[in-house]
Amino acid sequence: MLPLDAGFETGEAQTPTAPLASERLNDVVLANAIAHAIRDVPGVLAMGQGLFARVATYGPGKHINGVVLRHAPSGELSVEVNVVLDETTITKAYSDLSSSPDHTPVLLRCTGHIRSVVSHTIAHLGLHVPITVDVTIDDIR
């Protein structure tokens, strides 16, 4: 199993629950929960800030880098996340690829895992809306 697959099959994504119980679920709280869960994904070094424009969710007195939420009139939620990946983890995953039966490219595995974590986080928070998750890799350091 590649390091980027850790917890993927078992659905062991860590999501923060204690602070959310007492707070009203607004975009800043939702973006914070998503960013926190993404940071726990193996291979993710940090949330990105965007390549050409700042990517963040803004609220009163704070912002959450790397997560943008868009609400469509149809009720669908679109989530855009920007991440910085860890070069060491990616390099190790590439070297382990030859012994793996799954030949899916490493970066696609990583972005797929991030999409899954975002979906699980939103479902865990009790939001049952159709979502689209776009993942952008800002950098590999």
pLDDT at 2: 37
The predicted-structure confidence for 50-77, as pLDDT tens digits, reads as follows 988 999 999 999 999 999 999 999 889 9
Which two three-digit tokens encode residue 119? 């979906």
Q: Would you list the domain boundaries of the chain? A: 16-140
Cα(86)–Cα(1) distance, integer angstroms: 18
φ, ψ dihedrals at 135, nearest 5°: -115, 130
Q: Is the pLDDT of residue 125 over 60?
A: yes
29-38 b/e (C-beta count within 10 Å ≥ 16 → b): bbbbbbbbbb
Q: Is the pTM of this model over 0.85?
A: no
The predicted-structure confidence for 79-120, as pLDDT tens digits, reads as follows 999 999 999 999 888 887 777 777 788 999 999 999 999 999
The CATH class that applies to domain 16-140 reads: alpha beta
